[in-house]
Amino acid sequence: MTAVTHFEIDALKDLASRVLTAHNTSPENATSVANALVAAEVDGQKGHGLSRLAAYSAQAASGKVQGHAVPRAEPVGAAALRIDAGSGFAFPAMDLAIEKLDEVAPESGIAMAGVFRSHHFGQAGYHVERLAQHGLVGLALGNSPKAIAPWGGRDGVFGTNPIAFAAPRRSADPLLIDLSLSKVARGKVMVAAKKGEPIPDGWALDKEGQPTTDAAAALEGTMIPIGDAKGAALVLMVEILAAAVTGANFGFEASSFFTSDGPAPGVGQTLIAIDPRRMSGDAFTDRLEVLLQAILVQPGTRLPGMRRLEARGAAARGGVAVDPAFVEELEQLAHR
């Protein structure tokens, strides 16, 4: 069993920031990225957490990611913004999008930000939850490098294309729904391949478009979308909203989020903020609670996102469990 040590949240943020600033990233951008990665680590979403640091730092060092980029917001309508991430990390651009949407959505009732020339944006829920904490309903969609084939095909066209939704609650943490559109995260297949273990049937296809339980063959092939053909249609919808609408690269045009060579991925994200009070006044939170209680009254049910809240509570009480050998590797990166 892998040994773990519990680390303070602020200590992990400091470590992540130091790794990034040691690899051609501005302190402001490093802080933004570190906050997002550690938030994922705290939530138990380690695939979007500190495990990304080595790849991120290598890409900033090589220039594939512009670590000193400053995102720019351009109003393109009364309630619409284009945000150029400048081929930098996605998180500073998303921070700017949230700042602007917080200002515009209460005035207009609904507002949208389209981010282009962007990168991996981590937990999609991290962004919409912050909107919900300010009383807004949030919807985020993002595309990513190719990993899913069109239904009936065998060559990757779309990424796993995450989608997230958050809604404010009157006396509780926001309701949060966050999912990628493959049946399982591709990271699980990568872990299985490293261990030489098979994967369950129904997760992936090989490069010939045939179902496979061989993890290595799956990595050369494509992931199966949730809901099969219906899921593939949903992946297409997200690709259009995140990339075509924003003018970003499609998944089949984007370079890897993991390697340091090649051009910037240039993917896109769409973030929509709705002020529910404009439509239903104070009734929104009352009606939402009626709906949620209709779910919770049934034994064995729970709301989406509850495990994250439990993980946050545990981290607040006793720190974040991380393999100390991994932390030492990060410390070495911070001193290069």
Note down pLDDT in tens along the chain; length 336 residues: 457 789 999 999 999 999 999 999 999 999 999 999 999 999 999 889 999 999 999 999 999 999 999 999 999 999 999 999 999 999 999 999 999 999 999 999 999 999 999 999 999 999 999 999 999 999 999 999 999 999 999 999 999 999 999 999 999 999 999 999 999 877 788 778 888 999 999 999 999 999 999 999 999 999 999 999 999 999 999 999 999 999 999 999 999 999 999 999 999 999 999 999 999 988 999 999 999 999 999 999 999 999 999 999 999 999 999 999 999 999 999 997
Give the model's pLDDT for residue 336. Answer: 78
pTM recorded for the entire structure:
0.94
Q: Beta strand 80-84 with 110-118: parallel, antiparallel or unpaired?
A: parallel
**Could you tell me if 148 and 225 are in contact, meaning their C-beta atoms sit under 8 angstroms apart?**
yes
Decide: residue 332, CB within 10 A, 0-12 exposed, 13-18 middle, 19+ buried: exposed
**Could you tell me if 85 and 66 are in contact, meaning their C-beta atoms sit under 8 angstroms apart?**
no
CA-wise closest residue to 316 among 177, 176, 173: 173
- Give the burial string for 92-128 (b: 16+ CB within 10 Å, else e): bbbbbbbebbbebbbebebbbbbbbbbbbbbbbbbbb
Which ranges of the chain would DSSP assign to H, the alpha helix? 9-21, 27-42, 53-62, 90-108, 124-132, 186-195, 215-220, 229-239, 277-280, 283-296, 306-318, 324-334
Starting at the earlier edge strand, list the strands of the sheet with 175-179: 72-77, 80-84, 110-118, 267-274, 137-142, 163-167, 175-179
**Contacts with 22 (C-beta within 8 Å, 6 or more apart), sequence order:** 57, 333, 334, 335, 336
**Alpha carbon distance 202, 115 (integer Å):** 33
- Assigned fold of 71-182+225-281: Ribosomal Protein S8; Chain: A, domain 1 (3.30.1370)
In the chain, count H helices and then E strands.
Answer: 12, 12
Q: Beta strand 72-77 with 204-205: parallel, antiparallel or unpaired?
A: unpaired
CA dist list (Å): 155 to 2, 148, 222, 252: 37, 8, 7, 9
Mapping DSSP to helix (H, G, I), strand (E, B) and coil, where does residue 242 land? helix
Mapping DSSP to helix (H, G, I), strand (E, B) and coil, where does residue 84 land? strand
CA dist list (Å): 169 to 18, 111, 123, 278, 284: 36, 20, 21, 16, 9
Starting at the earlier edge strand, list the strands of the sheet with 222-223: 211-212, 204-205, 222-223
Tokens coding 333: 């990166």
CA-wise closest residue to 60 among 82, 84, 30: 30
